[in-house]
Structure 1
Amino acid sequence: MSDSLTAIVSRLCALAPQRRFGGLRRGVEKEGLRVDREGRIAATPHPRVLGSKLTHPHITTDYSEALLEYITPVYCRPADAMAFLADLHRFSYRHLGDELIWPGSMPARLDGNDSVAIADYGVSNVGTMKQVYRRGLDVRYGRIMQAIAGVHYNVSLPDALWETLRELDGAADTNLNDYRSARYFGLIRNFRRHSWLLLYLFGASPAVDRSFLPDGKIPDKLEAHGRHTLVSRYATSLRMSDLGYQNKVQEQLKICFNSLSNYVNTLRHAISTPWPAYEAKGVNVDGEWRQLNANILQIENEYYSDIRPKRVARHDETPSQALEARGVEYIEVRCLDLDPFQPLGIDATRMHFLDVFLMWCLLAESPWIPDEECDRLDDNRQRVVERGRDPELRLEHDGRQRSIADWGGEIFAELARVAELLDLDTSVEEGTPHADALAQLAPSLEDPALTPSGQLLARLESRGEEFVDAMLALAREQAAQLRAEPMNPAREALFAELVTTSHQQQRDIEAADSESFEAFLSHYFARAREPRMAPHDTLAGAQRAGDAS
């Protein structure tokens, strides 16, 4: 452990009795594809009995009409987030009939691009914008990529802890929003340096059904397994490979998260800069909207990244304007595969580990990332995605070639001290859940077979199963379990009420529209180009606090 990290952890341990860590807040967004009883993507609309996907706060869809997305409230205890997420699944299964929720990140059996139906959010301008945005994704990347599912993990630190860190850094004169934003960007930079570890530990998509590649072109990294399955022998996460959420056009953006202003300005440039290939596809052709615009990004959400700085936006703001005006509020981890062996796709052990990992990323020194290092980080992530369980794999670290077991073991040694720090605060959770999570996951560093990707591949090979058959069997087991389990009565009543109120809210939004969609879109992008700077000097404050970290 570096001297600076040792010092800051020791000083924070002395403050642990003041209970400044128990306010860590977490939320989960979990996607899951609806499928029929044969393991094909569902062709049915999003069930109306689950509420309006435009306005329901907890049950919506991501890209496809079949891609459910569950959103939990923010909780201080991982167990509470898990309980809410479980009840969302139980409630859904009371209304899905014979349909199932697919447990894997890579999709069920598809029947070409058109089998992935674009979600319909109604006739309001905001609903139309959401659908046209998804049409644009289809035009640019095809729909099949949009049938991939994952878990997003949202985390924020309490103000009391930020104030403590600011004091320990000797930055009391720095505006708290500026300080918080700069330190969050320091966390993100360290996350980018070490996210390969999460891809190794939690990647769970080494296989895919052949229907995912409808053109029949099989990349060299894949080999046949049975009649319908393709596998990558040492892959951890095909979802995060060039088969999944990768975009060659976006690679030119070179966002390495060195500062809030750089991040916001790069995104603003991308949503206002035309791209010739997208211009050639057309925007509004004979009255049919094919995409929102022909720029590098239609909107900011189109930028794919394994982590994002976030701030809850007001009704008249884009995400970057909210960040610009009031700073970073929380971070969103986006590189997590669904764990097909967990009924909810994630468990409390994973959440506790992520808390330790993110706190370590925050507390460790985090210098800015030059372009050449940014490229090396991308290379390391790609190696782990494609060959993470290969015993011969080596990653580049400070000019050296290191194995995952060697480098990962060094990281785990530092994580153990941070886990001890988090476990000292028993105001929210008793025991040592963070240390326990590390102990449970540590053996995976030496034995890749213990990782979810290793377990899934071993199941396919030992049983001679096809990918779809294995996932379908797990989906049926999990559905039976969730259907049989009781719901929290108060939560069940809440979900039933939200079905009614969300449909009414959608009707109200549609009735309130008073301008054409074209005018609405024009006003939206005019506002999106406006800076929303806070009254203080955000950049100067961020630079100062960033240097301190």
Structure 2
Amino acid sequence: MSVSDQLATNVGRLMTPARNGLLGRLRRGIEKEGLRVDGHGAIVATPHPHALGSKLTHPHITTDYSEALLEYITPVYCRPADALSFLGDLLRFSYRHLDGEWIWPASMPSRLQGNDSIPIADYGTSNVGTMKHVYRKGLDARYGRIMQSIAGIHYNVSFPENLWPMLQELEGRQDESLQGYRSGRYFDLIRNFRRNSWLLLYLFGASPALDKSFLGGGENGRAAKLQPLGEQTLQAPYATSLRMSDLGYQNKVQSQLKICFNSLSNYVGTLRHAISTEWPDYRRIGVDVDGEWRQLSANILQIENEYYSDIRPKRVARHDETPTQALEARGVEYIEVRCLDLNPFLPLGIDEPQMRFLDTFLFWCLLSESPWIPDDECDRLDDNRRLVVERGRDPALELQVGDRRMTVKARGQEIIHGMREVAELLDAIEGDDLHVAAIDTLAMRLDDPSLTPSARMLEAMKAHGGEWADFMTDLAKAQAEQWRSTPMDEAREALFAQQIETSHQQQQDIEAEDQVSFAQFIADYFSRAREPRSAA
């Protein structure tokens, strides 16, 4: 059975249950990051506002790497519009408590004054809060803070629980445990995502330029692929997402891990090896040096979350588990898409058509054939992603797709054709035509690259005067005015106000309950982290 035949067969078998309301609905949540900046577009050094709650314990408003890098987390919703509505109210609430500061709307950061201008987030005096801070100190020692100031959108999706036993029966795999089957199928999805995620970078990449300060104060080899746009701005004319290029997130040590997501056991085993294996360069940094903690360990990864990938299998962990132990014990619960730039033209950085496109793309990845990825294919997939982030809108660009060379447009249209069948399935579940409409609208970006966010960004910057930071600062202020001038949901406003007080009290309680030294706390953590967990 060909790839297209398998997809058509799967969609055909699921269509009747979908129309009869038997499949259930996808669930999704959004995590959105954004730097706090001043009126000149420079990153701020002020602490996380007390009026936004404790970043250690607040369920929806926290920080990522930096004290200045806000992170908003929505609950899980079945309807994209509900997640966007909640996210919008988080921004409205924040702007009531930001005085002379704005939220940067782009992924590549604002004006920086060197590495030390990016304050590392401080989570208080508890052992768990200190661990989060020391982990970030380790990231600074290993990669520098500038790389960590990049922002993005993380999109979390889980498929309906009703889907798994239905698919399992259709595929004749009832001899497997449902948990093992579900995890294996999520890894099938992830492999197809890795093969085709370049399409998301082309369609949604929105970082074709950056401020020169991002390069750390000098023209160097990293800027060789860039051209000047303004006095303080560099661009790559055909780039889609410099955030995802070697200018953005990069880790040569991690690249030797070779995680291509062939199985849950391989994934867990590789990450456990990485958090248990010392790396010479990191040993030279030191860990606890005369009472000063420089990093959590000298191993390839300090903790599992240090591993960077454009997609992750996830399971909500219990208090005594690491992320991989949670996966081992209870299997994959959802997936986290991590390759999405903030779209500065969208006040939330993402909108409903993009969410529906992503849902369709992920379902297409799940229902299509997904053989294991050997090392040589893994390298080719990395090459395809690199080419698209650096010059995805170049009409002469060709990708390696199996044994074929194909243009971005030609291969993209093949994928869209298959996705349209899946969009019809999702619309049957929802009783509307919004997924097909999203596919048809966004597919136009393959025919006309000028419609992509990256191309629109460059044109808008040129019209504005050519400076990345000035354009983004003005855009941030315009969006702030929009959030300040629109009302919040009253029930949500009351909830947020209550969560501020509760989160500060929870942090105080955690700090008061610590019974062991930080050194003992870390020793106990890593002792537990090395323990395998049995599947439920």
- Give CA-to-partner distance per residue, 1:121-171, whole Å, 9 cap, x none: 000000000000000000000001111000000000121111111111111
Q: How does 1:66-465 map to 2 (within 5 A)?
A: 66-218=68-220, 219-426=223-430, 430-465=431-466
Alpha-carbon contact 1:267-1:300 (below 8 Å) kept: yes
Tell me what 1:540 maps to. Answer: none
**Kept after mapping to 2: 8 A contact 1:22/1:76:** no
Question: Aligned partners of 2:155 and 2:345: how far apart in 1?
Answer: 18
Q: Is the 8 A contact 1:311 1:327 kept in 2?
A: yes
| 1:263-294: CA deviation from partner (whole Å, max 9, x where unpaired) | 00000000000000111111111110000001
Indicate conservation of the 8 Å contact 1:21/1:422, yes or no: no
Which whole-Å CA distance do the structure 1 matches of 2:86 and 2:348 have between them? 11
Post-superposition shift, 1:462? 3.2
Alignment match, 2:472: 471
Give the CA deviation at 1:27.
0.4
Number of residue pairs matched by the alignment:
532
Deviation readout 1:359-382 (Å, 9 max, x if unpaired): 000000000000000000000000
Residue equivalent to 1:545: none
Residue equivalent to 1:516: 517
Which digits, 9 at most, give the CA deviation of each residue in 1:82-101, with x for residues without a partner? Answer: 00000000000000012100
Summarize deviations over 1:66-109 as a string: whole Å, max 9, x none. 00000000000000000000000000000001210000000000
For residues 407-461 of structure 1, give each alpha carbon's deviation from its aligned partner in whole angstroms, at most 9, with x where no partner exists: 00111011111000100113xxx52110111111011002111110010011122
Moved over 3 A (4+): none
CA–CA separation in structure 1 for the residues paired with 2:341 and 2:472: 14
| More divergent stretch after superposition (8-17 vs 328-337) | 8-17
Q: Which amino acid aligns with 1:342?
A: L
- Which secondary structure state, in structure 2, belongs to the residue aligned with residue 440 of structure 1? helix
Q: Does the CA-based 8 Å contact 2:17-2:23 persist in structure 1?
A: no
> 3-state DSSP class of the match of 1:106?
coil
Letter of the aligned partner of 1:31 in structure 2? E
Partner-residue secondary structure (3-state), 1:491 = helix
Cα separation, 2, equivalents of 1:100 and 1:440: 32
CA distance in 1, matches of 2:153, 2:68: 16
Q: Name the structure 1 match of 2:20.
A: 18
Partner of 2:65: 63
Q: Which amino acid aligns with 1:375?
A: D
Residue in 2 that maps onto 1:41: 43
**Distance in 1 separating the partners of 2:363 and 2:254:** 29
Q: Deviations over 1:505-537 (max 9, x none)?
A: 0000000000000000000000000000215xx
| Code of the aligned partner of 2:524 | H
Q: Distance in 1 between matches of 2:22 and 2:288?
A: 53
> Counterpart of 1:208 in 2: which secondary structure?
strand
**Residues 24 and 162 of structure 2 are in contact (CA less than 8 Å); yes or no, is this contact kept in structure 1?**
no
How far off its partner does 1:489 sit? 0.3
Q: CA deviation at 1:23?
A: 2.0
Matched residue type, 1:135: K
Q: Is the 8 A contact 1:236 1:384 kept in 2?
A: yes
- Contact between 2:356 and 2:435, CA under 8 Å: does it hold in 1? yes
Deviates more, 1:158-167 or 1:143-152: 158-167
Match of 2:256, SS state, is: helix
3-state SS of 2:335 partner: strand
Rounded to whole Å, the distance in 2 between the matches of 1:461 and 1:507 is: 50
What amino acid sits opposite 1:209 in the alignment?
Answer: D
Measured after TM superposition, the shift of residue 116 of structure 1 is 0.3
Aligned to 2:4: 2
Name the CA distance, whole Å, in 1 between partners of 2:224 and 2:395: 20
Question: In the TM superposition, what whole-angstrom CA distance separates every residue of 1:219-267 from its partner, at most 9, and x where no partner exists?
Answer: 2111111111010111100100111112110000000000000000000
Offset of 1:42 from its aligned partner? Answer: 1.2
Tell me if the contact between 2:238 and 2:394 (Cα under 8 Å) persists in the aligned partners: yes
CA-to-aligned-CA distance 1:9-31 (integer Å, 9 cap, x gap): 11111222232444210000000
Segments of structure 2 that go 5 or more residues without pairing to the other structure are: none
CA distance in 2, matches of 1:243, 1:214: 11
Measured against aligned partners, the alpha-carbon deviations of 1:327-348 in whole angstroms (never above 9, x if no partner) come to: 0000000000000000011111
How far apart, CA to CA, are the structure 1 residues paired with 2:110 and 2:464? 19
SS in 2 for 1:88: helix
Q: State the secondary structure of the residue aligned to 2:525.
A: helix
Deviations 1:162-199 (A, max 9, x none): 11111111112321110100000000000000000000
Cα contact 2:464–2:471 (8 A) shared by 1? no
Q: What is the rounded CA distance, in whole Å, between the counterparts of 1:417 and 1:476 in structure 2?
A: 41
Say which SS state the counterpart of residue 172 (structure 1) adopts.
coil
Aligned partners of 2:59, 2:387: CA distance in 1, in Å? 37
- Indicate the SS of the match to 2:248: coil
Give the whole-Å Cα distance in 1 for the aligned partners of 2:252 and 2:216. Answer: 21
Distance in structure 2 (CA, Å) of the matches to 1:517 and 1:240: 35
Aligned residue type for 1:458: E
The CA deviation string for residues 44-68 of structure 1, in whole angstroms up to 9 with x for no partner, is 1000000000000000000000000
Distance in 1, matches of 2:208 and 2:294, equals: 33
Distance 2:96 2:268 in 1: 43
Code of the residue aligned with 2:122 in structure 1: it is: D
Name the SS of the counterpart of 1:198 in structure 2.
helix
1:547 is matched with which residue?
none
Aligned partners of 1:481, 1:464: CA distance in 2, in Å?
23
CA offset digits 1:466-494 (Å, max 9, x no partner): 00011111111110001111000000000
1:91 alignment partner AA: F
Question: How does the TM-score come out when normalised to structure 2?
Answer: 0.98
Which one-letter code corresponds to 2:53 in the other structure? Answer: G
- Pairwise CA distance, 1:215: 3.6
Q: Measure the CA separation in 2 of the matches of 1:17 and 1:233.
A: 46
Name the aligned partner's letter for residue 182 of structure 1.
Answer: G
Q: What's the C-alpha RMSD, in Å, of the aligned pairs? A: 0.9
